[in-house]
Chain A
């Protein structure tokens, strides 16, 4: 019976019901879409940053991340790869040796990162090969051939086929120097990376830098990137305390936290809008229940208990809330789904993105049904909570007072 009365009242006060439903539905849609956008764009930013070069899982000798000195290198690279052969969930394992050298061309000298890679495996764990701009990518047999970032090549004023020299410290602290020929130039779009990175094939590097079978770290590519953290833990357990296996959540903690800060500010902004909407819903409920004070007084006078009145009014707001949240969830969910398939493209914002080290402009929204349900639940609770004060207030009238209320 309560249900019938509540539905009738909703239709009897159609204008209030429509305004409340519209307001709540729009807000729910806004919340659902904003969450999907924030989650989606953050995931995209992180994925892009991880995949360009850093990789999902980094395996180092214990203590290397805190103190990346030559004493903390992996000194038996083949042993590590042997122990992780056919490891479940691990797609590719590639060794790297990162060092810094001073490059000098005919009229320029520039300090840069000088990294040894296993070219074929590297192709599967980062976007280096895919970022080729000129010339060609490395192969394992390449001797004294270097793969340079586009900005670094520009600063050194060298092109494909040109010569340049490097000077650096070898793994045994000796002085290492040689002449290199530029084999290829890459452009990831990340200015910082393109202006500081250079790569050579690991066999050549090992010979020049006295680093035979050494590595600064391994990059492990999981079969399912979403499970990187669990795989890192499993690899860590297999390798024992001598090694550290860190997932991107640890190696790129700063970026992860930056995304969290962005979400927090996003939710603060949304919360401010919600506060206003909360009050508007409260005001409209107050107006409607006050318009019905006499009716409620009469109901009380003929024996309806305050609990029943409360239940009746609450059921009205629950029904209105449900309809609004469902409608809003559908609209917001549909938008999230659409922009998940057709990412939003920010043209003209490359400059700002690059400043933050991000080489992308298309942002897909996330489509996560559980998150959408969470947002809908939040809005539902808010919408019902907003009606509690007016309902309690009107229910506090004595029947006679209520009947005489003007």
Chain B
């Protein structure tokens, strides 16, 4: 392509560069700036330094509550989802008849994903006399007041996201199927038990996709909005009032854009720190095939 000049490729990438600057980079820096201002819609911004952050970290009890709930939600949802996705992928990864059917059935909830209709369905399913309680009472358990109880209300949202384990599972399954079968045969001939083979062969080879899924699911879980907004409206007692909900109400209901930006940056910082920890630690536990280390 030498005859076309060195900048040729640049022209194809240009739309991305413009989009990056206008819709990502400038807003990114803009929100950092806004977080240091008192900015109410209609009034314009006045610089107040670290005041928003000081308020958030010292005197805003709603933030403290919301932050704790968010951490709890992510810490429960992400490991459960990954473990479940890996477990099912492991079961699907054998010469089973009907594997295509099961893979499709498990993937369907992920397709419907964050749809409002699914959140609405959840609201009816976990209602006092909803599907879940009817099933519980019919097999002899007591009905649970899912939305009335802070512990169970958050769990309904976790269950909604667990129900959508399909996309993580499909990635695990693809990785499992790409593992060279001769490794297992060699292990069997050496007398290794199946569980030993799982920990010595399967798990190490899966660490790159576990890492990928972990990062993606974590970033996503920290931004959960539709679930609490539709299903529980943040209640009861703000037990499902996740940070994205707080940011939304601060920014688009109270139009306190400066303060909302500061909360968004705190959330961003938390996600970044955890992502960096994951990346930093990955060299100790993520195994890349062809790597010299073993």
Q: Report if A and B associate in a common complex.
A: no
